[in-house]
Amino acid sequence: MGRNGTVMLNLGGLIEVEKYRYVYLMFFLVLFVLILCSNCIIICLIWIHRNLHEPMYIFIAALSLNTLLFSTVIYPKLLVDILSHQQRISYSACLVQLFFFYSLGASDVMLLLAMSYDRYVSICRPLQYASTMSTTTVSVFLALSWFVPACLLSVTVVIQSQQKICSLKLGGFFCNALIVNIYCMLPTFLTVWILISLSMIAICPVLFIFFTYFKIFMVAYRSHGEVRKKVVDTCLPHLLVLMATVCLMVVDIIVGLLESVLPKNMQLVLTLQTVVYNPLFNPIIYGVKMKEIQKHIKKMLRCNHVRISKTQVE
């Protein structure tokens, strides 16, 4: 218990914090700065340049914004914990972190769903693209991408908050699926609700995305070289991000189910993937693989180089 009867949970995910405190601090601080800078660059480039004001790039900017919010939920608290003698979090704050972690994670999947539909219409029904992917359609996709996961996760968190706690030790270094292990027992209806939510915001969207890209590649296979080039240039980055997202979802589930079996070192490494890989991987993929974004990044770097050269001459 903390002050005023607040329930405090002990976070045990980091190994030998006292010994490796400054290694952890530098590692996560550098990561956080890189994540902020890389995603902010993607968002600013898309915001500034009018030729990037297209549905595909708007969804990429939304994905980068999502990543910024996702990282802000995890890293600042993690850095404070590393500098503290005890890694602790209040139960209410843990539920809030849990809500944003999974809500924003599910929003990533929903945004990737919107991207796959955008690519499907662009490649398979090009004559209908302008009317189908209108500003209203894009706005609806963006709203649903955040609203649906938030609604489903809010119900989950409210139900969880009513459950009896039997343990104050949380195996991770932030609040994720491992939180189920602190409860005396989970009621059947909560388990069913979690499975329904998982199906709605993860399993079904991912299956639909794979089906969409299957249709796209079938069209590309039957078409000439220009269409195939367009598919590779615009769909490959989305597929890479999707595969990474799916893998990390599976990793998170595995860590939650096998906490008692996994060695602590392996558990730490696997958990790190969920907060390190995608936030850095996404902007790098889109910055390198999307030619229009890559072109603006190179132009920005050239301008900065010229300014530095002029400053040195003066």
**Would residue 27 count as lying in a domain?**
yes
**Would residue 1 count as lying in a domain?**
no
- Between 157 and 86, name the one with better pLDDT: 157
- Tell me the helices (H) and strands (E) count for the chain, helix number first: 10, 3
* pLDDT for residue 246 is more than 90: no
- Confidence at residue 72, expressed as pLDDT on a 0 to 100 scale: 92
0.85 exceeded by the pTM? yes
Looking at the structure of the chain, the number of domains it has is 1
* pLDDT for residue 173 is more than 90: no
**Would residue 149 count as lying in a domain?**
yes
Decide: 93 and 81 in contact? Cβ < 8 Å.
no
* Lowest-confidence pick of 49-63, 124-138, 243-257: 243-257
* pLDDT for residue 304 is more than 70: no
CATH number (domain holding residue 248): 1.20.1070.10
**Would residue 106 count as lying in a domain?**
yes
**Would residue 2 count as lying in a domain?**
no
**Would residue 186 count as lying in a domain?**
yes
- Confidence at residue 146, expressed as pLDDT on a 0 to 100 scale: 93
**Would residue 11 count as lying in a domain?**
yes
* pLDDT for residue 302 is more than 80: no
**Would residue 209 count as lying in a domain?**
yes
* pLDDT for residue 254 is more than 70: yes
Q: What is the pLDDT of residues 186-226, one digit of tens each?
A: 888 888 888 898 889 888 999 998 899 888 888 877 777 67
Enclosing domain of residue 191: 7-313
CB-neighbour burial class of residue 37 (10 A; exposed 0-12, middle 13-18, buried 19+): exposed
- Confidence at residue 314, expressed as pLDDT on a 0 to 100 scale: 53
Cα–Cα distance measured from residue 234 to residue 238, given in angstroms and rounded to the nearest whole number: 7
* pLDDT for residue 310 is more than 80: no
Q: For 5, left (φ over 0), alpha (ψ -120 to 50), or beta?
A: left
